[in-house]
Amino acid sequence: HKKVADVARTFPIFSLDPLSHEDSWFLLSKHAFGSGDFSETQRRNLEPIGRKIARKCGGLPIAEKSLGGLLRSKVDTEEWIEVLNNDIWNLQNDNILPALRLSYQYLSSQLKRCFSYCSIFPKDYPLDRKQLVLLWMAEGFLDHSQDRKTMEEVGDEFFAELLSRSLIQQLHDNYGEQIFVMHDLVNDLATAVSGRSCYRHEFGAKSYENVRHLSYNKE
């Protein structure tokens, strides 16, 4: 994006610095402890580990928020240490943030399918919550056989879980209306983990065989 801006010179360029260590911890802890399920003693015990995890996120807000959402469901010290020492942090850089890969790794198998399916939508595409749940239902991603809930209720809970992990973000448009979108880096993750089962065909792009779910973008 910076290269494009350098060439176009339409607007002045403002470089955003990564968050400081303190701001990184503040953001991660806000998302991790926001549910109120942690006692003061637990918070004190988890803070040293959490600060180390926050540093591994490289000062990127989307990484801090996503891992904070993951840690919200983990109240034991051992679980936080497991996240801190996960081998994913040591993987070679493939343009996917390790923090986002970690958040994906801890999703249930059903939720992983629902998440990767979102790769068929273009970046910055406004997601319709009800429509997306209906699409998941149509694809057979929602199993409610062991639950008394309807498929719509299960799908809505899945959407809420992705929202709590910041894998889907809630924003507001220029008119104050609530919209849901995927961060560009999260969209890249969804594309990477979907392999070729989900494919977003851009105008003029190469086509692939063995595609199960396809969207077409002519712009």
Task: Enumerate the domain spans of the chain.
Answer: 21-105, 109-217
Q: What is the C-alpha to C-alpha distance for residues 133 and 131, in angstroms, rounded to an integer?
A: 5
Is the pLDDT reported for residue 67 higher than 80? yes
N-to-C CA span, the chain = 18
| pLDDT tens per residue, range 82-100 | 999 999 999 876 789 999 9
Asked if residues 65 and 73 have their Cβ atoms less than 8 Å apart, the reply is: no
Three-state DSSP state, 199: strand
Is the pLDDT reported for residue 203 higher than 50? no
Q: What is the C-alpha to C-alpha distance for residues 123 and 135, in angstroms, rounded to an integer?
A: 18
What confidence tier does 4 reach under pLDDT thresholds 50, 70, 90? very low
| Burial readout 39-69 (b: 16 or more C-beta within 10 A, e: otherwise) | eeeeeeebeebbeebbebbebbbbbbbbbbb
Q: What is the C-alpha to C-alpha distance for residues 7 and 157, in angstroms, rounded to an integer?
A: 45
Three-state DSSP state, 215: strand
Is the pLDDT reported for residue 181 higher than 90? yes
User: What fold does the segment set 109-217 form as a domain?
Assistant: Arc Repressor Mutant, subunit A (1.10.10)
